[in-house]
Chains A and B, each alone.
Chain A
Amino acid sequence: MPAIEILGLEKTYMVGFWRKRPKLALQPLHLTVEEGEIFGFLGPNGAGKTTTLKMLMGLVFPTSGTARILGHEWTDPEVKAQTGFLPEQPYFYDYLTAHELLNYYGQLSGVPGKDRKRRIDEVLQRVGLTDVKGVQLRKFSKGMLQRAGIAQAILHNPKLVFFDEPMSGLDPLGRREVRDLMEQLKQEGKTVFFSTHILSDAEALCDRVAIINKGELRGVGAVEDLTSTVQGKVEVVWQGVQVPASMKALGAECHVTGDTVRAVLPETQQDAAIDALRRERIRLIAITPLRTSLEAYFVEKMQQSQSAAATTVGTTK
Chain B
Amino acid sequence: MNARIVHIASNTFREAVRDRVLYNLIAFALLISGAAIFVGQISIDIERLVVVNLGLTAVSLFGVVIAIFIGIGLVSKEIDKRTLYTVLSRPVRRWEFIVGKFFGLAGTLIVNTFFMAIGVFAALLYVAHKFTGADTLILIALYFIILEFLIICSLALLFSSFSSPLLSAVFAFSLFVIGCFADDLRGFAALTHGFTRWIATGAAYLVPNFSALNVISAVAHQQPLSGQLIVQNTLYALFYTAMALSGAVLIFERRNLK
Contact = CB atoms under 8 A, between A and B. Distances in A.
B88 interface: yes
Nearest to B97: A108
Interface stretch (B46-54, B65-73, B78-86): B78-86
Contact of B11 (A13, A59, A104): A104
Given A93-B11, A107-B7, A87 B254 contact: no
Nearest to A62: B256
Contacts of A77: 91-93
B15 interface: yes
A93 B15 contact: yes
A105 B86 contact: yes
B256 A109 contact: no
Given A80-B89, A93-B15, A95-B15, A59 B257 contact: yes
A93 B258 CA distance: 19
Contacts of A93: 11, 15, 83
B138 to A, nearest CB: 34
B211 to A, nearest CB: 37
A60 to B, nearest CB: 5
A87 B90 contact: no
Interface string B6-21: 0110010011001100
B17 to A, nearest CB: 9
A54 interface: yes
A110 B91 CA distance: 8
A59 B258 CA distance: 8
Interface of B: 3-4, 7-8, 11, 14-15, 18-19, 81-93, 254, 256-258
B90 A91 contact: no
Contacts of B8: 108
A108 B81 contact: no
30 contacts: A54-B85, A54-B258, A57-B85, A57-B89, A58-B88, A59-B84, A59-B89, A59-B256, A59-B257, A60-B256, A61-B256, A77-B92, A80-B89, A80-B90, A80-B91, A81-B91, A87-B82, A89-B82, A90-B82, A91-B82, A96-B14, A104-B11, A107-B3, A107-B7, A108-B4, A108-B7, A108-B8, A108-B91, A152-B86, A162-B89
Nearest to A60: B256
A193 interface: no
The 3 closest A-B pairs by CB, nearest first: A85-B89, A95-B18, A59-B257
A24 to B, nearest CB: 15
Interface string A88-121: 0111110110000000110111100000000000
A196 interface: no
Nearest to B8: A108
B91 A109 contact: yes
Contacts, number: 79
A152 B87 CA distance: 10
Interface string A141-157: 00000000100100010
Nearest to A55: B256
Contacts of A57: 85, 88-89
A4 to B, nearest CB: 14
Given A77-B91, A81-B90, 19 more contacts: A57-B85, A59-B88, A59-B257, A60-B256, A61-B254, A80-B91, A83-B89, A87-B89, A91-B81, A91-B82, A91-B83, A93-B83, A95-B14, A95-B15, A95-B18, A107-B3, A110-B91, A152-B86, A156-B90
Nearest to A152: B86
B23 to A, nearest CB: 14
A78 interface: yes
Interface in A264-284: none
A280 to B, nearest CB: 63
Interface string A287-310: 000000000000000000000000
A96 B83 CA distance: 12
A78 B90 CA distance: 8
Given A87-B82, A93-B83, A104 B7 contact: yes
Given A78-B91, A80-B91, A109-B91, A85 B85 contact: yes
A60 B257 CA distance: 6
Given A95-B19, A108-B7, A108-B92, A59 B85 contact: yes
Which among B83, B85, B258 has the greatest number of chain A C-beta atoms within 10 A? B85
A227 B65 CA distance: 62
Contacts of B18: 95
Contacts of A95: 14-15, 18-19
B86 A87 contact: yes
A93 B83 CA distance: 7
Nearest to A110: B91
Nearest to B256: A60
A60 B84 CA distance: 12
A68 B148 CA distance: 45
Contacts of A84: 89
A239 B7 CA distance: 67
Contacts of A91: 81-83
A96 B89 CA distance: 19
A61 B254 CA distance: 8
Contact of B87 (A83, A108, A110, A156): A108
B22 to A, nearest CB: 14
